[in-house]
Every structure is written in C-alpha cells, then in structure tokens.
Structure 1
Amino acid sequence: MKQIYLIDEHLSSKQNGVGTYVRHFARMFDGADYNVNILSFNAEVKELCISVQDGVYKYSIPYCAQGNFMKAGELICPLLSLYIEDKKDNVFFVNHSPCSDFMKAIRANFPKSKIVFTIHDQGWTSPLLGNSENLRKVLAHRKVNNIDNDTVRYVRNFCKEEKKMYQIADAVICLSHSTYQLLHEVYGASTNKLYYIPNCFIKNSNGLALSKKEARAKLYISEKEKILLFVGRPTKAKGIFELLKTFEQICATFKDIRLVVAGEVHSLGDFTKLTPTSSSHITYTGLLNPEQLNLWYAAADIGVLPSYTEQCSYTALEMLYNIGIVVSTDGWGLNEIFHNSQNAIVAQTTTINDAFTQELVKAIEIALTLDCESVRELQIKSKMTCDRFSDLKIHAHKYKQLVNRITNG
C-alpha cells in the first residue's frame, strides 16, 4: 500500500489554484494500492485533529509559528512522526514555496520516505512579470533595464532557495512545458527527476449548470449588460492595473458594460484611482466559494485573464469551459493554453504598462464586437482545448507512474 501525504496550507488554499489542486488530488489515486492523506496546516482547529472522509485521511494542524509552518518543520515533523510510520512506500507531496528547511525536516524525520515538490509558481515570475529572458540575465549577472537592485537580489536569493528544494526532492512536477525546460536549462535540474503533468480540469466541478438568464436573475444583473469577468488575486503580475486602465477607456465607447473582479481585494483605493469615471460599472465581489463563482461564470459574456505569468491556470480552463470567450495574453505559461483567434483573443505582453494596456483595449474591443457565428466557433474550440486537460485517467496514470517509479527504484 502506497501512502500519499499531500501537504496543504488551509488559509491560502481557500483563494488560489492550490486549493483546487488539493480538491482534485485524491481522485488521482483511486484503487486499493494507494491511500491518500492530507496534512492541512494552519487549519481552523485548536489541536491536532485526524478525521476521515470518503477514504481520505485528513490531519488538521492548528495555526503555529505565526502561520509560517514552512519555517517550523523541526517542531512539526517530529510530532507527525508519532502518527505517521516512516516507510519506503510513503510519498510526501509538497505544494508551497519556499520550503527547503521544511523539506529537510521531512527528510530527517522520515528518511525512508520520498518527497515530491509540485511547482505552482516560482519566485521570479511576479517580480520579473514572467520574462524568462530577464531571469537568465539576472542569474548571469548581466544588466537588465528597468529592474532595480532590490529586485535583482530578491530573485537571485529566491532562485538559490528553489535550487535547494529541487535538489532535496526525489521528483519535481512541472505544470507547464516552459517551466520544465527552465528547470533543466537554468536551474540545472536533471530531467530524471522532472515530470511534466499539467493540472487536470474536472468538468462541471462547480455545481449545476445555469442559463445566463437564471444566473443574472440570482445576481440582480441586467440582461442588457456585457459582463467581463476577472477571477483571481488582483495583483500586478495578474495584470489588474492594466485591466482597470483598459476598462476606463472601454467604458467611453461601450455603455452597457460591467467589469466583475472576483477575488479578495486589498488595494481598493489604488484601484479606484485608475477608474475615476467607470467605477460605477465595476463590481468587486471579494473571495467567492465555488458555488458563488459558478453563478458569475454562467452570467459572464467574456472571461478576462490579463496575467503576465501563470503555470497551468485552473481559472484559464474554467473560463474556456464555462464562458468560451476569453481575452488573455501570451504571458509565461499562458501561451501554452491560449492561441490567438483559435481559442481566445490574445493580447501581447512583449511590452508592459501603457503599451500593454492598448493591446488589452484592442483585444477586448474585438471580443465585444464578435458576431454570433464567431462566438459559437470560439466556444466550440474553447471546449476542445479543455478536453486536452480533462482526461482523469491519463492524469491519474502519470501520478501513479511517478509514485511507483520513485518508491520502487
């Protein structure tokens, strides 16, 4: 029996793609040969609680070390060793970064067990806005225009930490081809321990399908309005500032239009400064549960994903499947999912700030003026794209193959 231990952080997973990954993970290991356990850190409990649901064991571990559990491995792992027997058939799946100290603690307390690290993001992607050429220059100590010294130091230090993590791990899962190549070429990771396994998109996982009319009635949204939907953490790397500046321009031409920002907002004052005349046409929903988000997917006309960088975005796949008309970018990782005029309207991110804003303006205007036939064609091709990521049997086979290889080797 292979014992799978998935390491999760309860608080952050409620608002990012790791949470979706965790919800889908157990389905990769069906059958009698695998037992899935979830180690949920910073859980909303006062003491360690162990429960089981649908055959999955969950270890709920209370808030500790001021929430930074990855720095408390020397304290936490000895505690876990009282409940988890160290065996060669154990595999710990680590999903949070940076965590080399935590991985060392796992190794010290469970020397027979194996460790798999999954790359949901890397430390360079946000500060360098997904520009991998700038990363290569930074690591080669070459000058990069418009990148300050603090950013350069941060990226170099984070990359050193990531190299340690990849060296400790018995296997590293990359969600995109681009990251797989980068790890081999730039981080010097051996391809023997690298695995390309993109996220698995499980269709209809957000609840019962609703018509656009039904969804809008529940949300008190007019049937006349065109709804643009942004889903995710509204940060610079996600392109939120360019999107808001774009919407301010778009509103001058298209009157019955609304931008919906679905995600937890911490800088509302900064956002409203960018939309002085269009703020009344913007809805900030805050953090939504899957059922609430499903309503907005059903109500939306266009999904907008203006990110500079992603790995393998669940939001991208959800928008393609549930909306079918998506405005996105050719940013890091996104260019493996979206192709202009084939399954999306793609804005170029080769230039940033005002130039990128104008690219987004053009892309959204195209999406807003598509005729009915073009809409249908894009929606069909969008669902075909989702099909490439939706075969649970193929994804499960890849995960089982990885586990069997590192435990039997």
Structure 2
Amino acid sequence: MMHIFIFNNASRAANYGIGTYVRLLSDGLLGRSGVKVSFVDMFSDVKEYSIADDERGCRHYQVPALFSGMENEPYCRNVFYFLARHIKAEDDERLVFHFNYFQHKPLASLLKGQYFDCRIVFTVHYLGWCFELKGNKTRFRELIAEEYQPKDDKERGLLASVENEKEFLHLADEVIVLSKDTQQILAEGYGVSSDKMHLVYNGLGDGLCFDKDKNVGNGRIILFVGRLDEIKGLNYLIHAFRHIADKYADIRLVVAGDGDFQLYLSQCRDLQGRVSFLGKVSSSEVEDVYRSAYIGVMPSFHEQCSYTAIEMMRHKIPLIGTDTTGLAEMLDATPELRVSIDEDNMMDEEFTERLVSYLNLLLSDEDAYQRAADAVGKLYEARYKVSDMVHATCGVMESSWDRPDYTVSPDYLKHIDSRMIQLINQCPDIDTDFYGMGGIGVYLWKRVLDLCDRKEGDFQASLILEHLIYYMDWVQDVVGSSPLPVELWAMIRSMGQHGFYKTCVNALLVRQPGSDTLFQMPSDRVIIQNALKICNCKI
C-alpha cells in the first residue's frame, strides 16, 4: 500500500494552477488500487489543528493560518509535531509526502528525518526568480554565476531564494517538472541530478471538448484568461487589440481573471464596448467562456505548464503565446504563433507588432485558422490528458523504491556536510553521544571515506578533513578521560587505522579504557538518518 500525503494550502495559488493540479491528481489517484490519499491543508480556514474526512473518505489534516501570514520555519515545525502524533506507518505501507510549495522545505526535512523510508516528491509549479525577473533566463544565469556579486538587497534576497529552492530540490527524492525548459534550468542552474527528475505534463480531461460549427454570429472573441499581473502581459494584448479593432468590426476582447482592474480599465477607455472584464470566473461558468472563444492569447513572460493553455487546446482554440520558459513547448504544434521575447533588449513596440501580425493571420486566413485549431487539438490528445498525468505521476512514486541501498538523495549530502561543519565552527554545548557530538564526527568521517573512493570528491573531502581536525580538538577538550560513546570510539579507531591526525587520535586512544575492544561503525543508513535528525534539531 502506498499512502500519499499531498500538501496544499488555501492561498491564491490554490485557486489557480496548483489547486487545479492537486484536485485533478488526487481524483485520479483515488481510482488506483493499492493507493491511499490524504491531504495536509496548510493555512486552512479552521481555528485549531483538526482532522476530518471528506465525502470520498480522504483524511484531511487541517492546519490554521498564522496571524503573520507567513509559512516560516516555526510554523512548519509546529505542523510537523502535529503530523508526527498522528501519522503511523504500517508495516506494509510506503509513505509519500508530495509537496508543491518551496516554503514547506523545513517541514519536508523534518518528515524525512522522522520517516526515513518515506519518499519526498516535489512538483515544480514555479520558480521564484521567474516572477522577479519576468522569466528572463539570461539575467538569471548572470545572477547565479560564481563570480557575480549582488548589487543590492533585492539581488541578495533573490539569490537567497534560489538557494532555498535549491536545497529543497536537492532534498527531494523525486522531482517532477512540468516542462523541458524547467528540466534544463534545474539541471544547469540548480544542480539537480537528472536521474531523479521526471517530466510529467499537466493534464486536463480525457477528450476534446469543442463545437464543430463554432457560432461566431455575435462576433469573434479574443480570449485572455489569467491573473491581471504584469507578468501575464495583458497590457501588450490590449495595445495589439487597439491596432486591429477598426480593421475587424466583429472582434471583441474578453478578459477573465482577477487582479488590478483599474490599471487595465484605464487602458481601454477608447475601446468602449469592445473589451469585457469578467473577473474571476466560477467553475460552472468557465466552460461557456472557452466555448465562445475564437482565438486565445497568452502574452506571458513566464509559465510552467498552463492549465489555461491546455483548456484552449482541448477546445481547439488557436493559441498565440510567447517563447518563454514552459509556454514555448506548449506551442510545439503551432510554432508560427510563438511571439519571441528578446531577453537582452525587450522592445515593447516590436513585441506588440508581433502580436498584431499573428492576430491578423488567424483573423484573415480561414485555412490558417483551421490548421492551427486542428494542430492544438492533436497536441492536447497526445500530451495533456489527465489520465496520462496521473499514470506518470503514480509511476514516479512507485519506482522511487527501486533504487538499491537508497538512503537520501546524493544531491543533499553536501547540505548535510555544511550543517555539520557549521556546528563544528560553533562548538555548541551538546552531549558527546551519537545524537550529538559523536554523530557529527561519525557522519563526516564516513563521508570522507566514501568521497576518497571517487576522484570527483577530492575538494569536498579536503574541506571535511580540515574541519575534522578542528572537530578532534573539540572532542579532546570536551571528553578528557571520560569514556567515549561506542560510535565515536569506532570512528577514532578508524581514523587511527587511516593515519589521520595522529597526535590527537593516538592521545585519545591511549587514555581510553578498553582500547583493545573492537567496535563497528554504524551502517550508512543509521549514520545518515541520525545526521538528518541532528540537522533538524534547533541547537
């Protein structure tokens, strides 16, 4: 039995793409044998921690919102204590913790330490820098370059956000990406191993949904669906529409989504009667909106795998979009409708002119329109059906247990190294036992032995060895003639056999009682699980 805990929250994003993803994925998983689904609802509209079952029999662990409005480390730690009291893995149960938000990283780390055999699965719905940099990958690469020095607090904050994202992605046992573009970014910019990344496109419905004879008697509707945010590029579409409004008397622009209406209403004063703002459209009304559309436009600067684009494909609505991030490959069937974004020198007028050109093509050439409509419909059926998404996601989770002798993602070991080195530099007042000073040294010494077997680990091994010298001085100062814990004793014996820091190591060996007793180092599994718990401990 695979028990999947899906982490979600009640934020604005939950009402858009991530919320749709969670709902469709969970509905599909519930229909599979050998799978149990529970939810951890962060920022729920409840006054206290509670547990409730829904009409489908799914358990919901409901967590109230913070007054501060931030899902910070203390909040995640409290959620962990709540879950740890109630989640008990049965002997035949495999636990999967499926995360969708980067701010939940502290919670994922605590759960991995507590349920060591679990799998942490993370689906990448967004990358924080994409919002700040409007999806500009060229600028992103400049910022993360090793030699780059941030110029201000904004850039420092952006780099700190990238590091936080990187740590979560390294911790995750499996990473699901929604586009090839993101897969490449994570490999090159975040150092995520390719063997744990899985491309699974978002899915919606299991068949086309369109009118063969679309009624355009009331005019042809150009449709925009999305948040009224700058990154969605609505202002460019309004300018483009103004250029063609007089040429095509039957066209109207319909905008569905909420946000800063006043900003865009002011841009439409000279287009009265030709532009309609619907606000946020309910699920019962959204079908009519898509059925009435003639052309869809997404002039976005950043998308992962947009459900809006999938809805348009499913309804065979020709889509004009950009070549940014994940949206570019959603236009694989109609590359002639991709609007190029010049990341080095974005010219607003040129961008608008390209939108005008592609709108003219679809509005004036019926054959081109029909080819585009057929092409997006075929791409939907080949790539974006919900059954394919559910099947692939479940396969990622099930196959995660196929790796022999697996403990944690190798990507994450350097993060554990850094935390252990940090503790050595701090020399906190902690016990010498395995869940303390002993565990720090045993983990780092084991890492050195493993890294020395691999040439690419030379630098990291040298870094750890340097700090193990400081560590042994710390041990000598603290322990004195007191008996050593067996794990620490086994480590020092191993150091002696390898000729490491002979002066200190031999001094400890000589004054320890039972120096001829042989103790075995703990297993890799025990060492790493203990190290995770030390990392998670507030010292």
TM-score, length of structure 2 as denominator length: 0.67
1:233 Cα offset (Å): 1.2
**2:233 is the counterpart of 1:253:** no
Unaligned stretches of 5+ residues in structure 1: 214-221
Give the whole-Å Cα distance in 2 for the aligned partners of 1:75 and 1:210.
54
**2:403 is the counterpart of 1:400:** no
CA 1:365 to 1:74, structure 2 compared with 1: closer, same or farther past 3 Å?
A: same
**2:177 is the counterpart of 1:171:** no
**Partner deviation per Cα, 1:28-74 (whole Å, 9 max, x = no partner):** 46332111112222233344241133343333433335443454111
2:128 alignment partner, SS class: coil
1:367 Cα offset (Å): 2.0
Give the whole-Å Cα distance in 1 for the aligned partners of 2:213 and 2:283.
17
- Residues 63, 79 of structure 2: 8 Å contact kept: no
Q: Which residue of 2 aligns with 1:347?
A: 339
1:152 Cα offset (Å): 3.1
2:79 alignment partner, SS class: helix
- Residues 11, 43 of structure 1: 8 Å contact kept: no
CA 1:264 to 1:109, structure 2 compared with 1: closer, same or farther past 3 Å?
A: farther
Q: Which residue of 2 aligns with 1:77?
A: 80
1:91 alignment partner, SS class: strand
**2:318 is the counterpart of 1:360:** no
Give the whole-Å Cα distance in 2 for the aligned partners of 1:359 and 1:107.
49
- Residues 298, 323 of structure 1: 8 Å contact kept: no
CA 1:178 to 1:343, structure 2 compared with 1: closer, same or farther past 3 Å?
A: closer
Q: Which residue of 2 aligns with 1:196?
A: 199
2:279 alignment partner, SS class: coil
- Residues 133, 139 of structure 2: 8 Å contact kept: yes
Q: Which residue of 2 aligns with 1:158?
A: 161
CA 1:50 to 1:408, structure 2 compared with 1: closer, same or farther past 3 Å?
A: farther
**2:100 is the counterpart of 1:105:** no
1:287 Cα offset (Å): 1.4
**Partner deviation per Cα, 1:78-107 (whole Å, 9 max, x = no partner):** 112222214671111101133322323333
- The total of aligned residue pairs comes to 395
Alignment of 1:302-317 (within 5 A): 302-317=295-310
Give the whole-Å Cα distance in 2 for the aligned partners of 1:169 and 1:359.
41
CA 1:159 to 1:181, structure 2 compared with 1: closer, same or farther past 3 Å?
A: same
CA 1:296 to 1:358, structure 2 compared with 1: closer, same or farther past 3 Å?
A: same
Bigger shift: 32-41 or 388-397? 388-397
2:249 alignment partner, SS class: coil
Alignment of 1:232-247 (within 5 A): 232-247=226-241
1:302 Cα offset (Å): 0.8
CA 1:279 to 1:40, structure 2 compared with 1: closer, same or farther past 3 Å?
A: farther
Identity within the alignment, %: 25
The aligned amino acid for 2:383 is: F
Equivalent in 375, 381, 396 of residue 387 of structure 1: 381
Bigger shift: 162-171 or 251-260? 251-260
Aligned Cα RMSD in Å? 2.8
1:276 alignment partner, SS class: helix
2:368 alignment partner, SS class: helix
1:90 alignment partner, SS class: strand
- Residues 208, 381 of structure 2: 8 Å contact kept: no
Q: Which residue of 2 aligns with 1:41?
A: 42
Q: Which residue of 2 aligns with 1:30?
A: 31
**Partner deviation per Cα, 1:130-189 (whole Å, 9 max, x = no partner):** 221221111116789xx9855533432221111111122111111111111111111111
CA 1:246 to 1:141, structure 2 compared with 1: closer, same or farther past 3 Å?
A: farther
**Partner deviation per Cα, 1:300-358 (whole Å, 9 max, x = no partner):** 11111111121111111111121422111111111111047x37622222234232122
Q: Which residue of 2 aligns with 1:54?
A: 56
- Residues 258, 282 of structure 1: 8 Å contact kept: yes
Give the whole-Å Cα distance in 2 for the aligned partners of 1:392 and 1:95.
18
**2:275 is the counterpart of 1:270:** no
1:129 Cα offset (Å): 2.1
Q: Which residue of 2 aligns with 1:334?
A: 327
Give the whole-Å Cα distance in 1 for the aligned partners of 2:115 and 2:197.
22
Bigger shift: 305-314 or 30-39? 30-39
CA 1:134 to 1:364, structure 2 compared with 1: closer, same or farther past 3 Å?
A: same
Equivalent in 170, 186, 190 of residue 189 of structure 2: 186
1:199 Cα offset (Å): 1.1
Q: Which has the higher contact order (CA 8 A, sep 6+)?
A: 1
Give the whole-Å Cα distance in 1 for the aligned partners of 2:391 and 2:383.
14
Give the whole-Å Cα distance in 2 for the aligned partners of 1:173 and 1:70.
24
Give the whole-Å Cα distance in 2 for the aligned partners of 1:288 and 1:70.
32
TM-score, length of structure 1 as denominator length: 0.87
Give the whole-Å Cα distance in 1 for the aligned partners of 2:12 and 2:212.
29
The aligned amino acid for 2:237 is: L
**Partner deviation per Cα, 1:7-30 (whole Å, 9 max, x = no partner):** 111232453111111121121463
Give the whole-Å Cα distance in 1 for the aligned partners of 2:154 and 2:225.
27
1:408 Cα offset (Å): 5.0
Alignment of 1:89-168 (within 5 A): 89-140=94-145, 149=152, 151-168=154-171
The aligned amino acid for 1:376 is: Q
Q: Which residue of 2 aligns with 1:9?
A: 9
1:388 alignment partner, SS class: helix
- Residues 39, 61 of structure 1: 8 Å contact kept: yes
Give the whole-Å Cα distance in 2 for the aligned partners of 1:368 and 1:143.
47
CA 1:392 to 1:66, structure 2 compared with 1: closer, same or farther past 3 Å?
A: same
Give the whole-Å Cα distance in 2 for the aligned partners of 1:197 and 1:312.
10
The aligned amino acid for 2:139 is: N
Report which of the two has the higher share of helix.
Answer: 2
Give the whole-Å Cα distance in 2 for the aligned partners of 1:346 and 1:322.
19
**Partner deviation per Cα, 1:99-127 (whole Å, 9 max, x = no partner):** 32232333344444221111001012122
Give the whole-Å Cα distance in 1 for the aligned partners of 2:148 and 2:243.
35
